């Protein structure tokens, strides 16, 4: 008929398998990099994957004489097989390379090592990009259905990775991904009848499958054949126990029979140094940690918990009902028992931590979950509490944070959702009249920025709860700067106490007496403050002016900007005066890296556009390609910005990183695939006028989504998990149906102008997605998640105009 190639069922299935493997590996790398490196570098895994695929598309565009129509099935099969093999090779290289140490250094040497690491990690994605680009550009009459297979594979990959990591560990999951890519190569080779490639793909797939089965058996026996060797620049010691899941890796180290000095976040210097107990360390992604304390029922052996500043609240509230946010190894549970509190409810987001503490090491920890006055809940604390009618006398969180990347992306951390004004208002609402909310955080000597921000959070939450004089409701106590536990001698620990009622004179006197006895300092109370800044924040007067004048951002975070740990303003990311101060530590280096990455991906995106243009300058077909270039660039920016903004927004709503990943990505990608599939015949039948109408409907749907989503979240935020997931799926699926039409519409218009342009345009779409993934986070950090979403909408508006321009220019 028109001479175009026809894709058969094996091509659809092969594309499905390759994109499934591609997205699984992309997300898996954020998991692995969070262990081996740092969460802000883990975020770069997304960008490097997208950029590798973009390079693959550019290669297809620049070498049309090699990637011919006649050889498309051969190249599909070969690129899928090479993609699978290079996944394994590059990952093994990564395992054997030491990475940045504790300081997460931004030195030239450190950045060079990071660059080399990402260079070989990107290589497999280049071949993945070649594969997907060929599949989406060589069969123009079926672009809608092929794009549906692409998106459906990616959607299933989101769920598949969660399942795989529930069965085996991270390194083995990499081999699973390679196996799936081999399956895609086998399907392609079968359709093309390439016997050598078919045999090679089958043999390789079988070898990978055998290794996965054998190694998974060894993983369950805690003797894996491949494992992480370097974590954040430090050689990993063999753990007693290791377990991976979709958003963390936990490991337990230590000797259960050895007595060691008692662990404490903020132990008093008066505690006898020669008192030793048995403890084990539980690490999350090789950085965030907690301890498992040996407990045989004798509470007298746990006297050290009375000397920890995190537990000072128990001295002023007795016979209390206690709610623990983040049970970890059970220290806060044990503290409540030592102080003979009435009951304890502990909520832990990570089910594997609960199982490790009470199951695997239950004999060591005393099976705390079997005690009659102790209840463990596997849930996110905020969403769980929002569904409860019960109130508590104490709500406690002791240094709840992590430098680990969640599965949803490195700047989307579940713990941030408990450090917002909305969260603290909820906590205050669930206190009894005499109840106290207590959080402990790091206290830096020169600028105690985390405690300043906690004070701002407490002040604004109290004021929005109807309390007009918040200073009477806030107390902060800190340890001295001389503990050997801290990584930095300028760090100590501070504990903030926020009371629903004003602190009584008896409460304040008790706190002062305990602080004097334990050699703690009272940094803030209704009777005075250690410095003027604490006093000014707690007063609640002229806070806007105070925050603007402060060198870093200590404004109280909100659900729209839930980035408690990122206090460096975007305008200061290259201010070296701040880099050298205590305020710039691990989380602040993350913003610096984000700034460097933003510049890098912007330059690389321009190169992806300019270099192919320069190399094909004599080709007349590129002279009138500007409207198409703008169209694909805009939908690349628009899609990724909207996707990331919704992950950031819904992780607060859904209350769990796994839910955010599976619900947002799966619902959005699958519904986009359905929209692309359904629109195939419509696009071919109604041509240009109806295509523009589809894009106009998409803009209307985006407006409705942007306006109604915050309302839906506010209406259902206290509903059960099932209801909240259903609401999220409903609103995302409706949006995805129309977003899925934008790419096939553009490819159809481009294929009518020149089929040779389509690989380059696909590459531009990928390049701008790389840039957009960083831009989305930068906008959210600087101005909020809502702003990020509306910027995505603006890009889709420009895409609509560009499509009209392209159609008009062709008519």
Q: Please tell me whether residues 438 and 567 are part of one structural domain.
A: no
Q: Give the β-pairing of 276-284 and 343-348.
A: unpaired
Predicted pLDDT at 809: 62
> Rounded to whole angstroms, how far apart are CA atoms 148 and 16?
9
Beta bridge partners of 290: 282
**Taking CA 691 as the corner, what is the angle to CA 685 and CA 696, rounded to the nearest 5 degrees?**
150
Q: Please tell me whether residues 182 and 287 are part of one structural domain.
A: no
Predicted pLDDT at 589: 62
- Measured torsion, CA atoms of residues 253, 254, 255, 258, in degrees rounded to the nearest 10: -160
> Rounded to whole angstroms, how far apart are CA atoms 531 and 508?
18
Q: Please tell me whether residues 72 and 12 are part of one structural domain.
A: yes
> Rounded to whole angstroms, how far apart are CA atoms 639 and 768?
10
> Rounded to whole angstroms, how far apart are CA atoms 207 and 750?
42
Q: Of 487, 514, 544, which residue is a domain's last? A: 544
Is 257 a member of any domain? no
CB 399 within 8 A of CB 309: no
> Rounded to whole angstroms, how far apart are CA atoms 159 and 541?
49
Report the CATH number at residue 354: 3.40.50.150
Is 260 a member of any domain? no
Q: Please tell me whether residues 675 and 790 are part of one structural domain.
A: yes
CB 210 within 8 A of CB 202: no
> Rounded to whole angstroms, how far apart are CA atoms 466 and 510?
27
3-class SS of residue 612: helix
> Rounded to whole angstroms, how far apart are CA atoms 228 and 32?
9
> Rounded to whole angstroms, how far apart are CA atoms 48 and 37?
15
Q: Which two tokens stand for residue 768?
A: 């701008």
Beta bridge partners of 253: 281
Q: Of 519, 544, 569, which residue is a domain's last? A: 544
Is 253 a member of any domain? no
**b/e burial code for range 170-192 (CB count within 10 A of at least 16 → b):** bbbbbbbbbbbbbbbbbbbbbbb
Dihedral over Cα of 503, 506, 509, 514: its sign: negative
Q: Please tell me whether residues 462 and 491 are part of one structural domain.
A: yes
pTM for the predicted model, two decimal places:
0.89
Q: Which residues of the chain have pLDDT under 50?
A: 1, 101-105, 403-415, 483-486, 620
| Contacts for 566 with CB less than 8 Å, ≥ 6 apart | 411, 553, 587, 588, 590, 591, 781
Q: Please tell me whether residues 567 and 540 are part of one structural domain.
A: no
> Rounded to whole angstroms, how far apart are CA atoms 58 and 251?
42
How many other CB atoms sit within 10 Å of the CB of residue 363? 11
**b/e burial code for range 252-291 (CB count within 10 A of at least 16 → b):** bbbeeeeeebbbbbbbbeebeeeeebbbbbbbbbbbbbbb
Q: Please tell me whether residues 209 and 304 are part of one structural domain.
A: no
Q: Please tell me whether residues 497 and 606 are part of one structural domain.
A: no
Q: Of 222, 241, 260, which residue is a domain's last? A: 241
- HSE, side-chain direction, 13 A CA sphere, residue 470: 25
CB 125 within 8 A of CB 53: yes
Is 417 a member of any domain? yes
> Rounded to whole angstroms, how far apart are CA atoms 514 and 678?
69
Dihedral over Cα of 799, 803, 806, 808: its sign: negative
**Taking CA 794 as the corner, what is the angle to CA 788 and CA 798, rounded to the nearest 5 degrees?**
145
Dump pLDDT digits (tens) for 397-426: 998 875 443 333 334 444 478 999 999 999
Is 263 a member of any domain? no
Predicted pLDDT at 406: 37
Q: Which helix (H) or strand (E) holds 113?
A: helix 108-137
> Rounded to whole angstroms, how far apart are CA atoms 317 and 393?
7
The parent domain of residue 803 ranges over: 557-811
Is 390 a member of any domain? yes
CB 229 within 8 A of CB 237: no
> Rounded to whole angstroms, how far apart are CA atoms 322 and 307?
19
> Rounded to whole angstroms, how far apart are CA atoms 248 and 257?
27
Q: Please tell me whether residues 295 and 409 are part of one structural domain.
A: yes
Q: Please tell me whether residues 362 and 490 are part of one structural domain.
A: yes
One DSSP character per residue, 367-430 reads -GGGSTTEEEEES-HHHHHHT----EEEEEEES---SSPBTTBTT--GGGGGSSHHHHHHHHHT
Predicted pLDDT at 34: 79
Phi-psi region of 222 (alpha: psi -120 to 50; beta: other; left: phi over 0): left
* Main-chain phi, psi angles of 487, to 5 degrees: -70, -25
Beta bridge partners of 325: 347
Q: Please tell me whether residues 298 and 233 are part of one structural domain.
A: no
Count: domains in the chain: 3
Residue ranges with strand state E in 246-338: 248-253, 259-261, 276-284, 288-293, 321-325
CB 709 within 8 A of CB 729: no
Is 274 a member of any domain? no
Predicted pLDDT at 566: 80
Report the CATH number at residue 625: 1.20.1250
Q: Please tell me whether residues 293 and 393 are part of one structural domain.
A: yes
Is 269 a member of any domain? no
Q: Give the β-pairing of 374-378 and 392-398.
A: unpaired
């Amino acid at each position: 008929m028109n001479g175009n190639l026809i894709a058969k069922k094996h091509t659809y299935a092969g594309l499905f398998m390759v994109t499934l493997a591609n997205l699984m590996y992309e997300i898996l790398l954020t998991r692995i990099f969070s262990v081996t490196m740092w969460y802000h570098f883990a975020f770069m895994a997304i960008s490097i994957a997208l950029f590798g695929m973009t390079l693959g598309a550019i290669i297809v565009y620049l070498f049309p004489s090699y990637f011919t129509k006649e050889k498309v099935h051969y190249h599909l099969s070969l690129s899928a097989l090479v993609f699978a093999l290079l996944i394994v090779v590059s990952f093994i290289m990564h395992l054997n390379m030491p990475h940045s140490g504790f300081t997460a250094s931004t030195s030239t040497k450190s950045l060079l090592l990071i660059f080399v690491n990402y260079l070989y990690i990107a290589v497999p994605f280049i071949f993945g990009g070649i594969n997907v680009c060929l599949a989406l550009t060589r069969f123009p009459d079926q672009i809608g259905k092929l794009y549906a297979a692409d998106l459906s594979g990616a959607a299933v990959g989101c769920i598949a990775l969660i399942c795989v990591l529930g069965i085996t560990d991270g390194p083995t999951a990499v081999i699973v991904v390679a196996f799936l890519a081999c399956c895609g190569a086998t399907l392609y080779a079968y359709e093309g009848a390439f016997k050598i490639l078919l045999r090679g793909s089958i043999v390789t797939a079988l070898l990978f499958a055998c290794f996965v089965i054998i190694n998974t058996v060894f993983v369950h026996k805690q003797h894996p054949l491949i494992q992480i060797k370097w974590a954040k620049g430090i050689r990993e010691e063999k753990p007693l126990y290791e377990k991976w899941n979709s958003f963390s890796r936990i490991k337990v180290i230590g000797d259960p029979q050895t007595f060691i000095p008692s662990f404490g976040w903020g132990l008093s210097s008066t505690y006898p140094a020669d008192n030793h107990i048995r403890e084990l360390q539980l690490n999350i992604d090789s950085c965030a940690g907690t301890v498992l304390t040996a407990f045989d029922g004798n509470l007298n052996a746990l006297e050290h918990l009375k000397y920890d500043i995190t537990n000072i609240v128990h001295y002023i509230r007795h016979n209390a009902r206690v709610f623990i946010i983040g049970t970890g190894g059970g220290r806060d549970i044990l503290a409540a028992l030592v102080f003979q509190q009435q009951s304890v409810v502990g909520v832990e987001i990570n089910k594997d931590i609960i199982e490790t503490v009470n199951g695997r090491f239950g004999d060591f920890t005393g099976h705390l979950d079997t005690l009659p006055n102790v209840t463990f809940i596997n849930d996110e604390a905020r969403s769980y509490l929002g569904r409860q009618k019960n109130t508590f006398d104490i709500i406690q969180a002791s240094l709840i944070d992590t430098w680990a990347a969640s599965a949803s992306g490195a700047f989307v951390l579940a713990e941030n959702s408990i450090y917002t004004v909305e969260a603290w208002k909820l906590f205050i609402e669930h206190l009894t009249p005499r109840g106290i909310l207590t959080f402990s955080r790091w206290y830096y000597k020169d600028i105690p920025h985390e405690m300043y921000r906690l004070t701002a959070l407490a002040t604004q939450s109290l004021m929005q709860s109807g309390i007009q004089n918040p200073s009477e409701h806030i107390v902060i106590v800190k340890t001295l700067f001389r503990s050997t536990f801290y990584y930095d001698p300028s760090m100590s620990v501070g504990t903030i106490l926020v009371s629903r009622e004003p602190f009584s004179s008896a409460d304040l006197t008790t706190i002062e007496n305990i602080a004097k006895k334990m050699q703690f300092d009272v940094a803030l109370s209704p009777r005075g403050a250690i410095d003027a800044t604490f006093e000014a924040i707690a007063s609640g007067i002229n806070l806007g002016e105070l925050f603007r004048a402060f060198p870093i951002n200590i404004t109280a975070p909100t659900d729209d900007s839930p980035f408690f740990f990122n206090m460096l303003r975007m305008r200061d990311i290259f201010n070296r005066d701040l880099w050298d101060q205590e305020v710039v530590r691990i989380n602040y280096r993350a913003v610096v890296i984000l700034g460097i990455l933003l510049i890098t991906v912007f330059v690389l995106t321009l190169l992806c556009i300019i270099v192919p243009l320069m190399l094909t300058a004599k080709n007349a077909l590129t002279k009138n390609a500007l409207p198409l270039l703008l169209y694909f660039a805009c939908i690349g920016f628009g899609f990724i910005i909207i996707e990331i903004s919704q992950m950031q927004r819904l992780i607060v709503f859904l209350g769990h990183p796994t839910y955010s990943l599976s619900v947002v990505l799966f619902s959005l990608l699958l519904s986009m695939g359905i929209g692309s599939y359904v629109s195939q015949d419509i696009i071919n039948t109604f041509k240009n006028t109806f295509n523009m109408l589809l894009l106009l409907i998409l803009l209307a749907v985006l407006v409705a989504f942007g306006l109604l989503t915050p309302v839906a979240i506010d209406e259902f935020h206290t509903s059960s998990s099932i209801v909240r997931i259903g609401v999220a799926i409903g609103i995302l699926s409706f949006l995805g149906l129309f977003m899925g039409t934008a790419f096939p519409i553009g490819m159809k218009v481009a294929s009518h102008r020149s089929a040779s342009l389509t690989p380059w345009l696909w590459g531009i779409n990928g390049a701008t997605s790389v840039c957009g993934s960083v831009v989305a986070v930068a906008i959210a950090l600087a101005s909020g998640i809502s702003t990020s979403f509306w910027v995505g909408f603006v890009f889709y508006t420009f895409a609509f105009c560009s499509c009209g321009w392209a159609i008009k220019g062709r008519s």
